[in-house]
């Protein structure tokens, strides 16, 4: 069993490092990214771009070695206290063979992103025990119409708050029950890729949180992913499911229930406070949580995910 390692909180004056483990950064994105730089600088933080963060060596991003070099160097850089993925994309898994897991294990830091970053954050936790985070990318701090994501980042990383989401978030019970487990998860398509193989996620006794982007993943493909998980025994091992945003023509909970029926006893809940939407609570990967469908807020963290 992994020994959980908790990163330190952010304090004003700290430096936040920026990496691009997924697709290349377009010129159109730079204006939004600069807005996020200004927001975090006004909030009291320094910003440092990794050496290769804006490279496009391959025509579709930096090389696997360049991306991994940035991640390793950000963990080694004593000035950098937290690491944000700048944006999403399609191939953060290319870095897996090149990361210095021993160093990361012994020098835990906040690392945060969502969407394609699902691969990176779950893999780092799975290899090292370091708690990582599914939350806004750096770009997403200012690319949406509300400050929800920014407020959640401050609450989690600066204040060390344990509340998932905000007071007006709504939760729905899909299948009743109560369960405790370690949180893992993120984007469904990426989780599906990590069901088996060298860098598979250990789903045993986990609460799995799941979101998906309808524009890239129609209902039939969501069904494909859920059936692949079922066929590989994932639902036999987990403790519960927390569904997030999927803005599709058919609800993600219906597709899940079409797949699993009444075969499993674990609780299932649904909310719209994580995923490809403005409401992005910061969810720790590797932290113990509890689902209780009798409560209004149906999931809560049971232990700190950042320390002093």
Asked if 82 and 110 touch (Cβ cutoff 8 Å), the reply is yes
pLDDT value at residue 2: 82
pLDDT value at residue 25: 95
pLDDT value at residue 112: 98
CA distance 229 to 254: 16
Fold agreement between 15-158 and 171-301: no
Exposure of 283 in the CB half-sphere (CA atoms within 13 A): 33
Predicted structure pTM score: 0.97
Would you state the structure tokens that stand for residue 121, as one six-digit string? 């954050």
Class for domain 171-301, per CATH?
alpha beta
pLDDT value at residue 17: 98
Q: Which long-range contacts (CB under 8 A, 24 or more apart) does 37-42 make?
A: 39/141, 39/142, 39/150, 40/16, 40/141
Q: Is 81 exposed, middle or buried (0-12, 13-18, 19+ CB in 10 A)?
A: buried
Would you state the structure tokens that stand for residue 281, as one six-digit string? 């609570």
Q: Are strands 288-292 and 283-285 parallel, antiparallel or unpaired?
A: unpaired
CA distance 76 to 170: 40
Give tens-digit pLDDT for 249-260.
999 999 999 999
Q: Are strands 288-292 and 171-175 parallel, antiparallel or unpaired?
A: unpaired
Sequence-distant (≥ 6) Cβ neighbours of residue 168 within 8 angstroms? none
Give tens-digit pLDDT for 31-82.
999 999 999 999 999 999 999 999 999 999 999 999 999 999 999 999 999 9
Q: Is the CATH number of domain 15-158 3.40.50.10740? A: yes
170 φ, ψ to 5°? -110, 140
pLDDT value at residue 145: 87
Tell me the domain boundaries of the chain.
15-158, 171-301
Please list the ranges in the chain whose pLDDT falls under 50. Answer: none
């Amino acid at each position: 069993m992994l020994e959980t390692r908790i990163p330190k909180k952010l304090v004003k004056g700290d430096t936040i490092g920026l990496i691009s483990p997924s697709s290349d950064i377009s010129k159109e994105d730079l204006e939004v990214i600069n807005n996020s730089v200004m927001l975090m600088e006004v909030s009291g933080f320094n910003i440092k771009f990794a050496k290769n963060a804006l490279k496009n060596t391959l025509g579709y991003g930096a090389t696997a070695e360049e991306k991994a070099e940035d991640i390793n160097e950000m963990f080694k850089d004593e000035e950098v206290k937290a690491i944000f993925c700048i944006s999403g994309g399609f191939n953060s898994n290319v870095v897996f063979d090149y990361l210095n897991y021993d160093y990361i294990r012994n020098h835990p830091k906040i690392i945060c992103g969502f969407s394609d970053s699902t691969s990176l954050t779950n893999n780092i936790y799975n290899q090292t025990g370091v708690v990582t985070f599914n939350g806004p990318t750096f770009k997403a701090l200012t690319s949406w119409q509300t400050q929800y994501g920014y407020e959640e980042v401050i609450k989690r990383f600066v204040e060390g708050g344990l509340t998932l989401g905000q007071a007006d978030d709504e939760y729905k019970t899909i299948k009743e029950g109560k369960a405790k487990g370690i949180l893992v998860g993120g984007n469904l398509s990426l989780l599906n890729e990590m069901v088996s193989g060298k860098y598979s996620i250990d789903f045993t006794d986990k609460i799995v949180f799941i979101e998906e982007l309808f524009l890239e993943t129609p209902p039939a493909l969501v069904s494909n992913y859920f059936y692949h998980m079922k066929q590989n025994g994932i639902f036999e091992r987990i403790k519960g499911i927390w569904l997030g945003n999927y803005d599709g023509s058919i609800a993600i909970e219906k597709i899940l229930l079409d797949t699993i029926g009444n075969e499993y006893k674990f609780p299932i809940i649904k909310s719209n406070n994580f995923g490809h939407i403005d409401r992005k609570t910061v969810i720790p990967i590797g932290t113990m949580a509890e689902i209780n469908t009798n409560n209004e807020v149906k999931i809560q963290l049971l232990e700190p995910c950042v320390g002093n």
